[in-house]
Amino acid sequence: MTSAEDPRCVEFPQPAYPRFAGRWVLVTGAGTGFGAVLALRAAAEGANVLVHYNSSADGAHRTAAGVAAYGRQAAVLQADIRSWDDIRRMADEAWNLTGGVDVLVNNVGDIATDQMSWRQIDEAVLDRVLAVDIKGTLLMTHEFGQRMLDRGHGAIVNIGSTVVVRGSPRAPQYAAGKYGMLGLTKSYAAAFAPTVRVNAFGPGFMETESTLGREDWNGGRRERVLAQTPMGRIPAPEELAAAALWLATDDAAHMTGNFIMCDGGYSMIGA
């Protein structure tokens, strides 16, 4: 199905293979941005999708409508992933709805978008970022992973960032959070092996609505990033979604505890 046939469908630059046919995929933060694109790409590849949101209810329902437009099943789940009780409740709801989640994509992250300098850091934003990026991702991996383990199979993809290579002078707590995500990815990959695979994916800069609205992005940052990107362009999130989801496919069946980046060479040493 194409966008011409249904405006809720998204045109992706790569062919959509049925790599998730008959499987249930849960994407966190799927009401907006990269999460919404990941959910739609999974649907384009045959998945039924659980669309998670915390506060973007309207966006989550739009994403679910897009999933349904591909002829897949969709359900919307709300939870604050900073809360272990919320995560347990959502995991129980997900299992009751589906009989078992096959793939979890931990997309939710807090990048402290409004912070333009390390000088602006305070304890509140530090706690908020780490609560989402480390605590939330860890608890999601913990709760969903153990249920997958009991069921006998599953794959988890944690969405990281290239800040683990280049750092973030703008928001050091964001870089710390993503480094923490790598540690928990490797730890649970070892704990769950060989039954459940856990990997991390590091996208580079994407022209999402959030990025396009950032003060620094419109104040020369975009031009500097472009100048340092060997591929010479900054992609839309639709270009990266298939690569991220690949880690959860059978094509990556021998990969666990790994981190791969997709950033046009921005983090390449010597670039």
DSSP code per residue over 161-190: -THHHH--SS-HHHHHHHHHHHHHHHHHHH
Domain boundaries, given as residue ranges, for the chain: 24-262
Q: What one-character-per-residue DSSP string does 211-241 give?
A: HHT-TTGGGTHHHHHHHT-TT-S---THHHH
Q: Token pair of 127, please?
A: 């706690």
| 82: its two tokens | 């900073």
Chain centre distance of CA 143: 17
Tell me which of 53, 70, 174, 188 is the catalytic residue.
174
- pLDDT tens string, the chain, 271 residues long: the values are 444 345 467 788 888 889 999 999 999 999 999 999 999 999 999 999 999 999 999 999 999 999 999 999 999 999 999 999 999 999 999 999 999 999 999 999 766 566 666 677 788 888 888 999 999 999 999 999 999 999 999 999 999 988 887 777 777 888 889 999 999 999 999 999 999 999 999 998 887 676 666 667 677 778 888 888 888 888 888 999 999 999 999 999 999 999 999 888 888 865 4
Classify domain 24-262 at the CATH topology level. Rossmann fold (3.40.50)
CA distance 74 to 77: 10
Per DSSP, helices labelled H in the chain are 33-44, 57-69, 84-98, 123-130, 137-151, 163-166, 172-192, 209-212, 221-227, 238-246
Respond yes or no: is residue 188 known to be catalytic.
no
What is the pTM for the complete model shown? 0.90
